[in-house]
């Protein structure tokens, strides 16, 4: 729980800038409901971060958080669309249950975040192994690295998946 001073500052931030932030987001998003949600999320993010903006920089600070959330949203929508495009190609009988669809989409979104944090080479190794079904020797040959390096990269990527998936 934030101490009373911080709480007061948050209250002040919310009452002075929430409406403005919502309007700013609406211009970016052209959807009123999403703008309201993201404005709310921005403040949640702020509270969780346990940091507060320096005086006079409140709006710059809030829009910085909000911009990140907008990018996340677009990214999420694109992944969702890609997943739905894939579902569309399936015969109706093979369509997974809504529950499984939700888990799969969530996993894809998490995986996207995991990959963002990994070096390109580690990411490529993991994709070649897990999604292109290549053996470690094949990956080593393709990327021009040793099998030991493939193993090392796989450990790193798998560890990241364990933490976030």
Q: Which residues bind other proteins (CB under 8 A)?
A: 77-89, 91-92, 95-105, 107-108, 111-112, 115, 123-124, 127, 129-138, 151, 154-155, 158-159, 161-162, 165
CB 157 within 8 Å of CB 149: no
CB 58 within 8 Å of CB 16: yes
SS3 86: helix
Which CB, 43 or 124, lies closer to other proteins?
124
Residues 55-90: b if buried by 16+ CB within 10 A, e if exposed? eeebbebbbebbeebbeebeeeeeeeeebeeeeeee
Smallest separation, CB 60 to other proteins (Å): 28
Smallest separation, CB 123 to other proteins (Å): 7
Smallest separation, CB 164 to other proteins (Å): 9
Which CB, 6 or 127, lies closer to other proteins?
127
Give the helix ranges, DSSP H, for 90-119: 98-117
Which CB, 21 or 124, lies closer to other proteins?
124
Smallest separation, CB 96 to other proteins (Å): 8
């Amino acid at each position: 729980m934030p101490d009373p001073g911080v709480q007061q500052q948050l209250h002040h931030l919310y009452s002075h800038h929430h409406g403005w932030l919502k309007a700013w987001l609406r211009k970016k998003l052209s959807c009123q409901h999403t703008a309201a949600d993201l404005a709310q999320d921005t403040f949640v993010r702020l509270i969780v971060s346990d940091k507060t903006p320096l005086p006079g920089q409140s709006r710059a600070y809030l829009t910085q958080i909000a911009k990140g959330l907008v990018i996340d949203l677009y990214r999420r929508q694109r992944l969702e669309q890609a997943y739905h495009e894939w579902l569309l190609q399936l015969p109706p009988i093979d369509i997974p249950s809504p529950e499984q669809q939700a888990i799969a989409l969530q996993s894809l979104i998490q995986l996207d975040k995991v990959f963002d944090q990994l070096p390109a080479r580690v990411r490529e190794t993991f994709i070649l192994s897990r999604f292109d079904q290549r053996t470690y020797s094949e990956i080593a040959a393709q990327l021009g690295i040793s099998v030991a390096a493939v193993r090392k990269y796989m450990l790193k990527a798998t560890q990241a998946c364990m933490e976030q998936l």
